[in-house]
Amino acid sequence: MLVAGPPSSGTCVITMADPWQAIAQPGQADHDVIDYPTAVYGSCNRPIVGEVVSVDVAASPSARVAATDYLNEATSCALDAIGYTGAIAPVVDQSAGGPGIVWEPAVAFQTTLVGPNSLQRDAGKHWSACIVGSDNAQPYLGRLHNALTTGVLPPQFGSCWPSVDLSGPEQSACDAPHAVELLGSTSLGGKPVSVTEIRRTCTIYASRALRNTDPTRHGAIRLETLDSDHPRQLSGRQTDHCTTRTWPASRPRRTADSSTEP
């Protein structure tokens, strides 16, 4: 019987084992041992849960591995995934020449290292593959390759809310009408940054995230920065969130235009 070898970059994942499903507090106990995750691959023209980013054919992971060792190995997978999905330039310079403000994108990617299944191991196959996919293996349609630069991000990876509530926001589907979408967040700490400057850098970052020189869509939506401690006020303290808000009469779905990035 022919036994399949390792997948290749871009291969789609239909199902995948969760490496942390048997661990109450991942990475907290040195004695925790887990099954090395495996995956099932298939057509990309159907709902999938992830995509192969890279493959290390020299790797020979054990069928069982210490959770802390797995977590350490998986660190490089997260870095490889950035090269696969692309990235939104996070740093926006301040107009007064102060240190740049770093916006962290609100994208729910999850990376996982997988290896051969038991049949492949019995046939002497050894390798590890880095997979990027959705949080909690939520199925999605589309592709993540260059999704943040030239492609379209599937709606399952966005952060959309029916209303403003930073104390514990309820998530809503980004491919259905929604009032708020979180684009990114920045942690300012004690740095003195004016509210005006936060607004300005949020607008620039939103232009990059939405790939549109007019992120307001000619006034159809408005940009707001929300402070985590004061969600209904603009603020330059603590953690600030760059969001889009829809006007009551118009709640458009998130899209990425091909306009030139600023």
Written as one string, the DSSP assignment of the chain is: --------TT-EEEEE--TTTT-SSTTT-TT-EEEPP-EEEE-SSS-BSEEEEEEETT----SEEEHHHHHHHHHHHHHHHHHHH-----EE--TTS-PPEEPEE---EEEEEE---HHHHHTT---EEEEEEEGGG--B-S--TTTTTTS---GGGS-EESS--TTSPPPB-TTS--SEEEEEEEE-TT----HHHHHHHHHHHHHHHHT-S-TTTTTTEEEEEEESSSTTS--SSSEEEEEEEE-TT--PPP----PPP-
Terminal CA-to-CA distance of the chain, rounded, Å? Answer: 55
Q: Within 10 Å of residue 225's Cβ, how many Cβ atoms?
A: 21
Structural domain contains residue 4: no
Within this chain, do residues 121 and 170 fall inside the same structural domain, yes or no?
no
Structural domain contains residue 5: no
What is the pLDDT at residue 175?
86
Within this chain, do residues 165 and 129 fall inside the same structural domain, yes or no?
no
Within this chain, do residues 122 and 172 fall inside the same structural domain, yes or no?
no
Q: Within 10 Å of residue 79's Cβ, how many Cβ atoms?
A: 11
Q: How many residues can be counted in the chain?
A: 262
Low-confidence ranges of the chain (pLDDT < 70): 20-31, 96, 165-169, 190-191, 228-238, 247-262
Within this chain, do residues 73 and 168 fall inside the same structural domain, yes or no?
no
Structural domain contains residue 95: no
Within this chain, do residues 163 and 238 fall inside the same structural domain, yes or no?
yes
Domain containing residue 242 = 159-246
What letter represents residue 150's amino acid?
T
Count of domains observed in the chain:
2
Within this chain, do residues 211 and 129 fall inside the same structural domain, yes or no?
no
Structural domain contains residue 71: yes
Within this chain, do residues 192 and 242 fall inside the same structural domain, yes or no?
yes
What is the pLDDT at residue 76?
92
Contact between 125 and 136 under an 8 Å Cβ cutoff? The reply is no
Within this chain, do residues 187 and 235 fall inside the same structural domain, yes or no?
yes
Structural domain contains residue 58: yes
Rounded to the nearest 5°, which phi and psi values hold at 204?
Answer: -65, -45
* C-alpha span between 161 and 8 (Å, rounded): 36
Within this chain, do residues 55 and 165 fall inside the same structural domain, yes or no?
no
Q: How high does pLDDT run on average in the chain?
A: 83
Within this chain, do residues 170 and 218 fall inside the same structural domain, yes or no?
yes
What is the pLDDT at residue 184?
92
What is the pLDDT at residue 261?
39
What is the pLDDT at residue 22?
58
What is the pLDDT at residue 49?
97
Structural domain contains residue 196: yes
Within this chain, do residues 123 and 191 fall inside the same structural domain, yes or no?
no
Q: Which of 138, 142, 167 is nearest to 154 (CA)?
A: 142
What is the pLDDT at residue 46?
96
Structural domain contains residue 30: yes
What is the pLDDT at residue 249?
43
Structural domain contains residue 208: yes
Within this chain, do residues 133 and 188 fall inside the same structural domain, yes or no?
no
What is the pLDDT at residue 166?
63
What is the pLDDT at residue 232?
35
